[in-house]
Amino acid sequence: MEIRVLAVGDVVMEQGLRHLERTLRPFQKLKGITFTVVNGENAASVGLTADQAERIYAAGADVVTLGNHAFGKPQIAGFLDDTPWILRPANFTGRAPGRGCGIYDLGGLRVRVMNLIGRGDLSWGADNPFTTADKLLKEGEADLTLVDFHASATSEKLAMGYYLDGRASALWGTHTHVPTADERVYPKGMGYLTDLGMTGAVESVLGIEPWQSIETFLGGLPGRYQAPGGPAKMQGAIFTLDSATGRCSSVERVDVR
């Protein structure tokens, strides 16, 4: 049986959240999507609230993943402990609330979703994501494994792709908010994309008002981040997988405006 997995890039602020709510379910129907993973760590600019997580889930996400801003809103901690469909990076310290991996039943098909964070220029205090992946692959039984690797360095993401090829069905990168054009199927059958992009304002710098980013680079004080008005986009990728073998047959980039 063929299944189609949709991975959606970082949802940024209210503009991105509203666009997701408008477009995700119609797009899932149009493309015959079976399972959807949405990175939601920027819904409140830095972090997200429980209410925002619930909105992403209600919009059509089966799993919500996070990243370096997972605890940007400290009140999310209890929600992470109590809610199985939201994941923070698995290689955070064991003292962090929540979980970094889950196995979800898709009508008898078991789908493992793993959330990892990179250490190259992002989170040096985290455990090694490569060895963490090894451990998680040994925990529980799953037919398919999907990986959201929230990392800054493209080399780290590419290396993880080769490391997990043949052991995971799909791996995508998040964090940079800029989509890459290297979608591919690795030699042993794993679908891959270095970065999905983001879900947020089109006329923005990574989802925020352009003038605020310009002010930062000029050495000024940009103030609290603001979401621009105007049109928005939902970026990500569709991975077509064979449920019997776990192999990916195609990767299609997504940009819904």
Listed by start position, the domains of the chain span 2-256
Q: Give the pLDDT of residue 122.
A: 86
pLDDT of residue 18: 97
What are residue 106's DSSP bridge partners? 109
Backbone angles phi, psi at 12, to 5 degrees: -115, 110
**Residues with Cβ within 8 Å of residue 102, at least 6 apart in sequence:** 63, 84, 85, 87, 112, 113
Does residue 69 have an active-site annotation? yes
CATH architecture of 2-256: 4-Layer Sandwich (3.60)
Instruction: Please give the Cα distance from 237 to 252 (Å, whole number).
Output: 5
Q: Which residues, given as ranges, of the chain have pLDDT below 50?
A: none
How high does pLDDT run on average in the chain? 96
pLDDT tens track for 200-223: 999 999 999 999 999 999 999 988
Q: What is the pTM of this model?
A: 0.97
DSSP for 76-127, written as a single string:
GHHHHHH-TTEE--TTS-TTSSS-SEEEEEETTEEEEEEEEE-TTTT-TTSP
